[in-house]
Structure 1
Amino acid sequence: MITARHSLWREPRPADAPAIGRLDWLLVGAYAAAVVVEAVVRPDVAWRPVVTVLALALVPALLWRRDHPLLAAVIAWSVAASLSTLQMTARTEDLGLDSMIAVLILLYSLVRWGSGREIVLGAAFVTLVVILGAYASSAGSADAFGGSVLLLLVVAIAVVFRYRADLWQRQRREIRNQERVALARELHDTVAHHVSAIAVQAQAGGVVAGSQPEKAVEVLAAIESEASRTLAEMRSMVQVLRDEDAVAYVPQPGVADLPALARTDTTPAVEVSLDGLRGRLARPVDAALYRLAQESLTNAVKHARGATRVEIDVRREGGVVRLRVSDDGRTDPGPVPVPGFGLLGMAERVRLLGGSFSAGPGPHGGWVVEAVLPAEVLA
């Protein structure tokens, strides 16, 4: 238990807190309007001006609830403590507005967005305020139990959403690492392939050096070209993490292997189109294009509803290569669904190679995956 408490105390804030947006301003506006309307309409509000001003003090706290969760919670629950103190002073049964239930939003935000230290300190402060409020209102055991259950329910919901988001972030990091490992393996295979070719050429050069010096010069030029290409690809990938496990020295499939994915005797039929790819592509880009097309085709076959055709189009446009995989399946109206881990993995691979990636419903139906990669990865 001591270890768990220390772990909570040192836990940092979540890194995915969104900035203030339109919904936040709508929430603030709705709360402020509710406070004003309730203060005007309700006839039984004691100390009406004071209570209204204190309730409106929650407005900035609602805006700060993600950037400064502890400060926002302290402001909100300090208002609740002030109302409880006034209630004891005025000796009235009820002092406050129903709209003050918004303090629960600040409690939720404290647990959802605060650091472990902020959560511990804020929870202790909220507990004291709750005890003060129960004493001021002379709440019975049933009311105290019901209020405690409500607070614990809010805290539980915040914990669920906090650790669900944390799990999502960990899965995304795992995908990122897996893609880097895959690229590192491909680099390993590519370099091994190039070095093998250099070794063969060097042996040939040694054989002809004595009898045909001009041939030896040609072999040296070929070795230099192969070595330069290998070094350029190595420099472009040195920051990619590597797996220490042994891997086979086999070149990875590339764009030239895409026609093998074409199918005309199945549903959906698969059409492959290659255009302007006469020049040689950087090996990491070549392998990535094949993997992206393969993964996109797999997704289309599995998930495209009613699809009869999948088109894979790869074309070179100047210094970039554009991949487009589209199907004619049915798409549901409404917001674009959250991308799965397969799409996240593809996007990460493209990003590592300095390209751009998009996936979503097509303008005429179906699903479209597009990736743009540099033909030569920058060293």
Structure 2
Amino acid sequence: MTSPVRALWDAPRAAPAPPRHVWRDAVLVGSIVVAAALEALLRPDVPWRWLWAVVLVGLSATLLWRRTHPLAMLTIALVVGTAVGFAAGADPQLFTTAYFLVLLYALFRWASGRELIVGGALVVLGTVLSLTSSGTTPGDVVGGIAVAVATGSLGVALRWRARVRARDLEQARLAERVQLARDLHDTVAHHVSAIAIQAQAGSLVVAKDPAATAEALRTIEAEATQTLREMRAMVGVLRADAAPLMPTPTLEDLQGLAVAGDGRPEVVVQVQGDSGAVPPPVAAAVFRIAQEAVTNARRHGRGVGRIDVDVRIDADGLRLAVDDDGRGAASTPPGFGIRGMQERADLLGGRCEAAPRPDGGWRVTVSLPRTGWGA
């Protein structure tokens, strides 16, 4: 088989899987039973009308399994209908026969690739046999083919639409997972890193400087309290009942990253320009990137004594630079920090770079042009 035919032959059934039965199926079957009986009663000119009414009523049960067994149900309807037609010497002329199109639609909507090929061959065979029967005109054949093609096209279109929708939902779920992972890393991981750093510092000075140890413990307590607060806020947001508990960070919150020193790396924050002109999503991204850069400098930098956080806002956009004076980054396994910073910048049409400085230390720079801020 050629590649397109093989691809169709190996195609799986439609996803997501269809429901086995719904209440509409019973209503549909009941409507067909009533319609077949009324049509046989009101159309005495139709030959063998009561025979065809009984056959159509019996075959209406195939509609109940048309989603789970589309090829089998269509085959039963075609074989039985064709056999009765040859035995009676006339095709069914009751309008109720049109419900066979529902079985054809189900084939193209739910069946696998090989079922589509076999079912299509059966439909073509039935069309050829109809040409040999008496009373069938070329116009009837062309009209039947047109209706069958339209029905199959509708099934394929809805099948493709459901597949695209399922793919979009999966991508949305993946995006939510990435966003949740990013938020966890940028909020909780920041405070946990600070706790670890302070615990290490406290263990080094516990015997020499009790005051510094007490200060480290107070910092650990404050960071742990903030971590619990943010964890509760994030859980509340996920439960959709407490979104206001976690406000969006702003550029003014950058001052909370400043540290005077006292045995720890000094953090100096400077914001130049009109911070009020920066949209909240951009300000939140800048804060998270700066927070992550400061945490990385504290955690991985060697001999870091000062960390500078510089934000400049002008007519072209915003530029963030985070520099430390260490001796380069320690050897650490790859993490998600830099990737998260780059993703945040990319989402706003900007760019994030992290690299060692020529004169020592580490630098993180972020450029966010105004064109990427949106309306």
TM-score tier after normalising by the smaller chain length? 0.5 to 0.7
**Corresponding residue of 2:12:** 12
RMSD: 3.5
Counterpart of 1:146, as a letter, is G
1:187-234 residue CA offsets vs partner (Å, 9 max, x unmatched): 22235403431243135314531224697489579769978979xx7x
Counterpart of 1:5, as a letter, is V
Distance change >3 Å, CA 40–CA 256, structure 1 → 2: closer
**Corresponding residue of 1:257:** 247
Matched residues in 1 for 2:7 and 2:248: separation? 50
**Corresponding residue of 1:72:** 73
Dislocated runs of 4+, deviation >6 Å: 224-230
Listed as ranges, the matches of 1:114-193 within 5 Å are: 114-193=111-190
Identical residues among aligned pairs (%)? 39
Matched residues in 1 for 2:218 and 2:119: separation? 71
Aligned length: 240
Give the alignment's TM-score, normalised by structure 2: 0.55
Matched residues in 1 for 2:26 and 2:97: separation? 17
**Corresponding residue of 1:57:** 58
Matched residues in 1 for 2:180 and 2:244: separation? 13
Task: Judge which range, 47-56 or 128-137, deviates more.
Answer: 47-56
SS of 2:47's partner is coil
Matched residues in 2 for 1:42 and 1:109: separation? 30
Matched residues in 1 for 2:188 and 2:61: separation? 58
Kindly indicate whether the alpha-carbon contact (under 8 Å) linking 1:208 and 1:215 is maintained by their aligned counterparts in 2.
Answer: yes
Matched residues in 2 for 1:256 and 1:111: separation? 49
Listed as ranges, the matches of 1:1-379 within 5 Å are: 2-14=2-14, 15-87=16-88, 90=89, 92=90, 94-212=91-209, 216=213, 219=216, 255-257=245-247
Matched residues in 2 for 1:39 and 1:256: separation? 69
Kindly indicate whether the alpha-carbon contact (under 8 Å) linking 2:49 and 2:94 is maintained by their aligned counterparts in 1.
Answer: no
Kindly indicate whether the alpha-carbon contact (under 8 Å) linking 1:205 and 1:219 is maintained by their aligned counterparts in 2.
Answer: yes
Task: Judge which range, 9-18 or 32-41, deviates more.
Answer: 9-18
SS of 1:204's partner is helix
1:278-297 residue CA offsets vs partner (Å, 9 max, x unmatched): xxxxxxxxxxxxxxxx99xx
Counterpart of 2:72, as a letter, is L
SS of 2:187's partner is helix
| Structure 1 gaps, min length 5 | 238-252, 261-293, 296-379
| Structure 2 gaps, min length 5 | 236-242, 251-279, 282-375
SS of 1:171's partner is helix
Matched residues in 2 for 1:256 and 1:141: separation? 71
**Corresponding residue of 1:351:** none
CA radius of gyration, larger in: 2
Kindly indicate whether the alpha-carbon contact (under 8 Å) linking 2:13 and 2:112 is maintained by their aligned counterparts in 1.
Answer: yes
Matched residues in 2 for 1:214 and 1:19: separation? 71
Q: Which has the higher contact order (CA 8 A, sep 6+)?
A: 1
Q: How much does 1:47 deviate?
A: 3.5
